[in-house]
A and B are shown apart, each in its own frame.
Chain A
Amino acid sequence: MTIVGISIKALKAKKLSSFLSVLLVAFGMAIITTLILVSHQLTQKLERNAANVDAVVGAKGSPLQLILSSVYFIDFPTGNIPLKNFEEIKRNRMVKTAVPIALGDSYEGYRIVGTEPSFLQLHQLQIAEGKLWSKNFEIVIGADVAKAKNLKLGALIYGSHGLTTGAEVHEEHPYRVVGILSKQHTSADQLVLTPLSSIWGMHHHEEIVEEEQDITSILIQYRSPVSTILFPKMINEQTNLQAASPAIESARLFSLVGIGFDVLHYFAILIMVIAAISVFITLFSSLKERKYDLAVLRILGASKQQLFTMMLIEGVILTFIGALLGLAAGHILVEVLGSLDGASQVLFSGYLFLNDEFYVLWAGIGLGIIAAIIPAIQVYRYDIAKILNN
């Protein structure tokens, strides 16, 4: 019989209250783990998508919306701008790279993006199979699209109008898959890329006239960091367009979402505190009946320190099991979240283990020690003669 063995058997003897304590710790831990995993993956995803985009130019409106639609491909676009704006901006000396984007159609929930080959260079996309488009209605698709829809090179697909599924299908012009991108772990995995002229050709059945060559936005890469201030100022003041920075907008988005994260965070801490109190009550109330057993252990040769340790171990066992279950539950929850939103743009994986989780685990163990310290001190101070002769 080891001390840990005695502790475990003592906890097993009061299954219900032990179970309650473990459950509370696990619940709090699961929320914290989920928060850590989701916020980490969200941040990483946002950063990765915006890695090479310094600014986005588009129609006036919400800058956040412009970033969401053109960089993360989630919200709806702000509106169209004429192609000649693109030609002008491309020639600006502050601009190193300018990539046009035309949104509007989708294929089974995946966005069809009209663009130029520079889009692939800007986002450093590699073609895993096939080649880049060479004429209209040829497409290069993201890895997730290919996998989810089981599309091979040469496959024909039909786009539908609008960004949601179930809208009118453009049956007259099928797209042909000529290339499949390698997995990027960015939004690009869920895109269908095609030349700009395919988008125009889809909506204008006659010859395309220059006035009708609209695009949604322009992704900008600066020549030098100095432009970070000058370029948006120039665009916003001298044109009827707006320039938005992915860095600023995603920080703003995070501060908005962050409030929700903070609330959940405090909620989880509250649950952990309740869990600690529950562990404390479990141990403290059990002492009433156990003080005789513990005093007898002293008669049998156990030292004060051993009994003190025994109580701490009991607290730590409860919170450690709770923390492990909570970690597991958090990962399962995130994995389920990730698999639920299938085609959506932000995918979460439960198969990701972060260093932060170790801190959480340590915190769980610390919680057990804190909860058990008062009962442990009480046991340490037992006057065994008094207890045993009552």
Chain B
Amino acid sequence: MITLSGITYTYPNTKTIHFKDLTIKSDEHCLVLGNSGSGKTTLLNILTGLLKPSSGTVNINQQDLYQLKGNDLDQWRARHLGIVFQKSYLIPSLTVSENLRVAQKFAKLKEDKNRILEVLEQLQISDRLNHYPKQLSMGQLQRVSIARAVLNKPKYIIADEPTSSLDDENAKAVLDLFLAQAAANQADLIIATHDKRVKDCFPNTYQI
């Protein structure tokens, strides 16, 4: 369960955003809607512990996020959240398999090649195991970054604008991918988007 209460954030240019309180129950997906520049990304950063809010608290599964400091926060995030950014941000000098092993290592989990293979198979890119990121297409890169996000079986999969640059058909495919991965890994989805096409698939929306 996630609860946001009394969150405000003041930008360096002194503009302040007040975010509505929010509760996301377990086993519910949630869509964060808002136009470009409305503060979606800021909210996601606050939600993932990357950006300390000016006031208010973030509670995820009974953990007050900003009570955690430094390395503890990094570790907590690695264990509980799977984050997919707009860009894939894979490490170019490492292969697909190594990129995933890094994710297991830094979350202090045992390296588990079977798990890596399992996730890549679910995403239908296991044949790219030993390829370098530059050898992959955009779509494949996104799949690998989804694979990395779900690898450690996080409670929440958080994605920022995963479909905005795709055509209708591909947007649908990617969304299905997220839903399938969430189901397969028993995780809840939180997707931030301004893409109205996504809206129909989610009962819960949070409008900024």
Q: Is the CB of B102 within 8 A of A300?
A: yes
Closest Cβ of chain A to B145, distance in Å, is 9
A119 contacts B by Cβ under 8 Å: no
| A-B contacts, 18 listed (Cβ < 8 Å) | A1-B101, A6-B94, A6-B102, A9-B93, A9-B94, A12-B93, A13-B93, A293-B89, A293-B91, A295-B89, A296-B89, A296-B91, A299-B50, A300-B102, A300-B107, A301-B106, A301-B107, A303-B71
Task: Known A1-B98, A6-B94, A6-B102; judge A298-B41 contact (CB<8 A).
Answer: no
B66 contacts A by Cβ under 8 Å: no
Interface stretch (choices B73-81, B117-125, B177-185, B193-201)? B73-81
Contacts of A285 in B (CB 8 A): none
Contacts of A300 in B (CB 8 A): 78, 102-103, 106-107, 148
Q: Is the CB of A305 within 8 A of B45?
A: no
The CA of A385 and the CA of B12, in the complex, are separated in Å by 14
Q: Is the CB of B89 within 8 A of A388?
A: yes
Contacts of B138 in A (CB 8 A): none
B25 contacts A by Cβ under 8 Å: no
Please list the 7 inter-chain residue pairs (A to B) with the smallest Cβ-Cβ separation, ordered nearest first.
A301-B78, A13-B93, A301-B106, A385-B50, A303-B71, A296-B89, A302-B106
Task: Known A6-B102, A9-B94, A306-B106; judge A301-B75 contact (CB<8 A).
Answer: yes
A173 contacts B by Cβ under 8 Å: no
> Quick one: which of A275-304 are within 8 Å of B by CB?
292-293, 295-304
Most chain-A CB neighbours within 10 Å: which of B70, B71, B79, B148?
A: B71
Q: Is the CB of B71 within 8 A of A299?
A: no
Chain B contacts to A: CB under 8 angstroms: 41, 45, 48, 50-51, 70-71, 74-75, 77-79, 83, 85, 87, 89-94, 98, 101-103, 105-108, 111, 148
Chain A contacts to B: CB under 8 angstroms: 1-2, 6, 9-10, 12-13, 292-293, 295-306, 384-385, 388-389
The CA of A2 and the CA of B94, in the complex, are separated in Å by 12
Q: Is the CB of B102 within 8 A of A299?
A: no
Task: Known A6-B94, A292-B87; judge A304-B106 contact (CB<8 A).
Answer: no
Kindly report which residue of chain A lies nearest to residue B145, judged by CB atoms: A296
Q: Is the CB of B98 within 8 A of A301?
A: no
Q: Is the CB of A293 within 8 A of B106?
A: no
Contacts of A385 in B (CB 8 A): 45, 50-51
Q: Is the CB of B94 within 8 A of A298?
A: no
Contacts of B71 in A (CB 8 A): 303-305
The CA of A299 and the CA of B149, in the complex, are separated in Å by 10
The CA of A2 and the CA of B111, in the complex, are separated in Å by 11
Most chain-A CB neighbours within 10 Å: which of B74, B94, B103?
A: B74
Closest Cβ of chain A to B156, distance in Å, is 13
The CA of A297 and the CA of B94, in the complex, are separated in Å by 12
Contacts of A293 in B (CB 8 A): 89-92
The CA of A297 and the CA of B90, in the complex, are separated in Å by 10
Contacts of B41 in A (CB 8 A): 389
Kindly report which residue of chain B lies nearest to residue A384, judged by CB atoms: B50
The CA of A6 and the CA of B94, in the complex, are separated in Å by 8
Contacts of A6 in B (CB 8 A): 91, 93-94, 102
Q: Is the CB of A1 within 8 A of B89?
A: no
Closest Cβ of chain B to A47, distance in Å, is 53
Q: Is the CB of B75 within 8 A of A389?
A: no
